[in-house]
């Protein structure tokens, strides 16, 4: 393998190992910012699965009787309704907490209706009125009722239990008492797990000891009462549960159970409660008996106990990915990213594959959650995959850009810049065009005047340096105006607009005109510089023509040359040769002149028929760009010249003579006007034959 290829593989491996290491460190140092973010994000992703994934089915025999605001305030009642209803008497005598005789009446009413069990998410700790009646009811329904106790974790896990008048001590060993605590995640305070059994050692933040006293949760005691003791996990750790839908256990107003109207209408005179497991607890916001879960920020505490029971009955517990397996998945993600980018060399395909793997893994995480309750480690794994993949692709892109830049700089020493750009950026379209296509282009030929003669006498090194300086300046002008350098021909240049990338035939022609005027300016600067250095200056001829040519790769099997061929290109070369005849530095064909008329000031030169052509062509020259400073007097008198040329071509030689003479009064050194004046004088004395059409025929190139 080439050393560059080996180094590429090593760099890609380093990138993937680096991100794998960063994510793995986040597992061992959860308090460090940034590197631990994926692991914190994993918790959020798991909560999303809990909300969006499969839920634990809510048992149809669970009922939540809530002490809501309407129950606390009690609806308007008539004196007759209160007098005939002992519960209403007790509930209206004083505000909550009412006499505990109310709860005795509730138990009698529910169990008389056939309720299977009743749970109170309430702690009857301080003595209160009605304790004897409630005590008697608790004894009467000993195997069907459970009430709450609490561990005050802010006060050294002190137990808060029902008072001795209700349940004799030790209350927490009585199967009618269960603790109501849920232990929240210390990081974000959300409750995700249920602890069904706890020991004294656990409450003291020590490892559990089964030989110590074991306390049962309210949900565990209730499950035992209804014959599901075997469904309760036997260990002492927290169990992540699959939650039911947030609205699965909507509370029903407690007071309706005592109201004959609702008892009949809503509960079918008690038949509704037959075989039901009833939870009694607070549902009023003012009581603040709410907890935060992944499902909702305000889950009612009594409803959470029902969810804990439902999860145990259906064995709907969630399992995290084992730590070693999770770290192995993180490492596998880094390896997958390296293999993908290192061997699949196409960036878009790599990116698409990364996306496909990510989506597939997310789908697998959802399937594992819904099907088996496994919380497949996802965010750290995908973080390694995506970060390693993207940074590796970024390195590949940077490497490719550097290589392309190096290649471009090398090629630009030999080939036109825009040709190099097109080959590198749009290779398919460029190569297809090289098979051969007819394209409208604007072609420029330029040549130095007098260089060949000078080269026979001058110092070779000095001449080569001078020629290179000239060619560098001229090609820079061509490139800056969007042209393609077709070739150097000794001291000559052939450039084309529209063959590699076209901006429209008009804009291509205007770019060519700008280049020609720029070459004129640059040569003036060079000549001034050379003369100051004691060197000889040069003249230059430029020929421009627009027309359709064939663009393609021309050459042999050993060497190909992307170029243009056709009459339009040949005519541009012939027009360049005429610059010496007419003493002008720029000559332009009629089609090109028409396209740039609003860009430059034009001057008619002649109607010519060059060697190899059967049809004449009008040629023009550039006075200057319309956005440049041009002598307004010259432009004014140029109209006289153009009128004289029209008269000349119309065979009105006398009038043409007058007009050319008038122009020469102001510009006596103008070669074109002198030439046409002499011809007008000649034709005035000896008129041409009837076939004369003002065309000058050239038999030589």
pLDDT at position 103 is 97
The CA radius of gyration of the chain, in Å to the nearest whole number, is 49
Measured distance CA(198)–CA(235) in Å, rounded: 9
* Mean pLDDT confidence for 356-371: 95
Going by the DSSP 8-state scheme, the letter that residue 159 receives in this structure is E
Q: How confident is the model at residue 488 (pLDDT cuts 50, 70, 90)?
A: confident
| Residues 157/150, Cβ–Cβ less than 8 Å | no
* Model pLDDT for residues 406-434, shown as the tens digit of each residue: 766 665 554 556 566 655 565 555 555 45
Q: Could you tell me which residues come within 8 angstroms of residue 568 by beta carbon, excluding any fewer than 6 positions away? A: 441, 443, 545, 546, 547, 548, 549
| Residues 379/45, Cβ–Cβ less than 8 Å | yes
- Which residue, chain included where needed, has tokens 């590429």? 8
String of DSSP letters for 170-204: SGGGSTTEEE---PPPTTT----EE--EEEHHHHT
Q: Could you tell me which residues come within 8 angstroms of residue 214 by beta carbon, excluding any fewer than 6 positions away? A: 197, 198, 199, 236
Pairwise pLDDT comparison (404 vs 677), residue with the higher score: 677
Phi-psi region of 583 (alpha: psi -120 to 50; beta: other; left: phi over 0): left
Q: What average pLDDT does the chain have?
A: 88
- With b for 16 or more beta-carbon neighbours within 10 A and e for fewer, the 496-521 pattern comes to bbbbbbeeebebbbbbbbbbbbbbbe
- Containing 643, the helix (H) or strand (E) segment is helix 632-649
pLDDT at position 2 is 45
| Residues 640/662, Cβ–Cβ less than 8 Å | yes
Phi-psi region of 474 (alpha: psi -120 to 50; beta: other; left: phi over 0): alpha
pLDDT at position 413 is 56
The pLDDT of residue 695 is above 80 = yes
- Classify residue 211 by burial, with Cβ atoms within 10 Å: 0-12, 13-18, 19+: exposed
The CATH-assigned architecture of domain 432-629 is: 2-Layer Sandwich (3.30)
Write out the two tokens for 232: 């309760």
pLDDT at position 318 is 95
pLDDT at position 341 is 85
The pLDDT of residue 354 is above 90 = yes
* Model pLDDT for residues 598-649, shown as the tens digit of each residue: 999 999 999 998 877 778 889 999 999 998 888 899 999 999 999 999 999 9
Measured distance CA(216)–CA(176) in Å, rounded: 10
* Mean pLDDT confidence for 449-461: 70
End-to-end Cα spacing for the chain = 57
Measured distance CA(556)–CA(577) in Å, rounded: 29
Q: How confident is the model at residue 1 (pLDDT cuts 50, 70, 90)?
A: very low
* Mean pLDDT confidence for 440-455: 82
Going by the DSSP 8-state scheme, the letter that residue 322 receives in this structure is P
pLDDT at position 206 is 79
| Residues 160/181, Cβ–Cβ less than 8 Å | no
The pLDDT of residue 58 is above 90 = yes
Q: How confident is the model at residue 241 (pLDDT cuts 50, 70, 90)?
A: very high
Q: How confident is the model at residue 3 (pLDDT cuts 50, 70, 90)?
A: very low
pLDDT at position 60 is 93
Q: How confident is the model at residue 260 (pLDDT cuts 50, 70, 90)?
A: very high
- Which residue, chain included where needed, has tokens 């009023």? 284
The percent of residues above 90 in pLDDT, for the chain, comes to 59
The pLDDT of residue 63 is above 90 = yes
pLDDT at position 543 is 94
Write out the two tokens for 484: 């393609």
Nearest to 194 by CA among 68, 311, 36, 32: 311
The pLDDT of residue 384 is above 60 = yes
The pLDDT of residue 171 is above 70 = yes
* Model pLDDT for residues 506-558, shown as the tens digit of each residue: 999 999 999 999 999 999 999 999 899 888 888 999 999 999 998 877 655 45
String of DSSP letters for 379-430: HHHHHHHHHHHHHHHHHHHHHHHHHHHHHHHHHTTTS-HHHHHHHHH-HHHH
Residues of the chain with CATH 3.30.70.1230: 432-629
Write out the two tokens for 695: 């065309």
Query: What are the residues facing 151 on neighbouring strands?
Result: 159
Query: What are the residues facing 437 on neighbouring strands?
Result: 551
CA 362 to chain centre: 19
Pairwise pLDDT comparison (246 vs 49), residue with the higher score: 49
pLDDT at position 124 is 94
Nearest to 319 by CA among 57, 55, 46: 46
The pLDDT of residue 674 is above 90 = yes
Q: How confident is the model at residue 396 (pLDDT cuts 50, 70, 90)?
A: confident
The pLDDT of residue 700 is above 80 = no
């Amino acid at each position: 393998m080439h050393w560059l290829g080996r180094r590429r593989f090593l760099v890609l491996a380093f990138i993937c190992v680096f991100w794998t290491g960063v994510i793995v460190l986040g597992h061992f140092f959860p308090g460090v910012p940034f590197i631990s973010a994926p692991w914190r994000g994993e918790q959020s992703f798991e909560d999303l699965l809990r909300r969006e994934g499969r839920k634990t089915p809510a048992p149809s025999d669970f009922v939540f009787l809530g002490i809501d605001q309407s129950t606390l305030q009690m609806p308007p009642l008539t004196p007759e309704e209160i007098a005939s209803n002992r519960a209403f008497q007790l509930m209206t005598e004083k505000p909550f907490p009412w006499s505990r005789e109310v709860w005795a009446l509730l138990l009698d009413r529910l169990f008389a209706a056939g309720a299977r069990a009743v749970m109170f998410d309430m702690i009857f700790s301080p003595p209160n009125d009605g304790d004897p009646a409630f005590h008697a009811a608790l004894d009467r329904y000993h195997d069907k009722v459970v009430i709450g106790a609490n561990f005050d974790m802010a006060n050294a896990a002190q137990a808060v239990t029902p008072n001795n008048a209700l349940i004799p001590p030790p209350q927490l060993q009585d199967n009618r008492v269960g603790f109501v605590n849920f232990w929240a995640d210390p990081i974000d305070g959300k409750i995700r797990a249920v602890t069904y059994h706890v020991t004294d050692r656990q409450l003291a933040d020590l490892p559990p000891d089964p030989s110590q006293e074991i306390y049962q949760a309210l949900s565990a005691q209730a499950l035992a009462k209804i014959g599901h003791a075997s469904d309760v996990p036997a260990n002492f750790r927290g169990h992540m549960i699959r939650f039911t839908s947030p609205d699965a256990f909507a509370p029903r107003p407690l007071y309706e159970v005592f109201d004959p109207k609702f008892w009949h209408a809503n509960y079918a005179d008690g038949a509704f409660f037959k075989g039901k497991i009833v939870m009694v607890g607070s549902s009023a916001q003012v009581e603040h008996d709410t907890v935060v879960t992944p499902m909702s920020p305000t889950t009612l505490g009594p409803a959470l106990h029902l969810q804990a029971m439902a999860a145990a009955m259906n064995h709907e517990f969630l399992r995290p990915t084992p730590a070693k397996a999770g770290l192995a998945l993180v490492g596998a993600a880094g390896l997958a990213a390296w293999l993908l980018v290192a061997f699949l060399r196409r960036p878009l395909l790599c990116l698409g594959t990364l996306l496909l793997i990510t989506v597939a893994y997310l789908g697998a995480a959802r399937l594992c959650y819904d099907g088996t309750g496994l919380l497949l480690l996802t965010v750290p794994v995908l973080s390694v995959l995506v970060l390693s993949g993207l940074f590796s692709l970024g390195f590949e892109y940077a490497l490719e850009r550097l290589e392309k830049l190096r290649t471009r700089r090398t090629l630009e020493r030999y080939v036109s810049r825009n040709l190099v750009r097109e080959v590198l950026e749009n290779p398919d379209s460029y190569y297809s065009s090289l098979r051969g296509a007819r394209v409208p282009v604007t072609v420029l030929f330029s040549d130095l005047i007098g260089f060949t003669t000078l080269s026979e006498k001058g110092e070779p090194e000095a001449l080569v340096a001078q020629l290179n300086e000239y060619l560098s300046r001229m090609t820079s002008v061509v490139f800056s105006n969007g042209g393609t350098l077709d070739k150097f021909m000794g001291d000559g240049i052939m450039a084309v607009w529209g063959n590699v990338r076209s901006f429209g035939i008009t804009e291509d022609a205007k770019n060519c005109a700008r280049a020609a005027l720029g070459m004129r300016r640059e040569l003036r600067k060079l000549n001034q510089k050379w003369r100051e250095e004691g060197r000889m200056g040069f003249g230059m001829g430029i020929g421009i023509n627009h027309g359709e040519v064939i663009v393609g790769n021309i050459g042999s099997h050993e060497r190909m040359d992307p170029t243009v061929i056709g009459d339009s290109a040949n005519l541009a070369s012939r027009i360049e040769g005429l610059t010496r005849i007419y003493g002008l530095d720029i000559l332009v064909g009629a089609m090109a002149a028409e396209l740039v008329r609003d860009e430059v000031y034009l001057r008619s030169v002649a109607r010519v028929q060059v060697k190899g052509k059967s049809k004449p062509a009008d040629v023009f020259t550039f006075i200057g760009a319309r956005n440049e400073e041009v002598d307004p007097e010259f432009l004014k008198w140029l109209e006289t010249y153009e009128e004289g040329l029209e008269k000349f071509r119309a065979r009105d030689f006398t009038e043409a003579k007058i007009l050319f003479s008038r122009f020469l009064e102001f510009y006596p050194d103008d070669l074109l006007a002198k030439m046409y004046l002499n011809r007008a004088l000649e034709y005035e004395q000896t008129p041409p034959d009837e076939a004369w059409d003002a065309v000058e025929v050239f038999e030589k190139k």
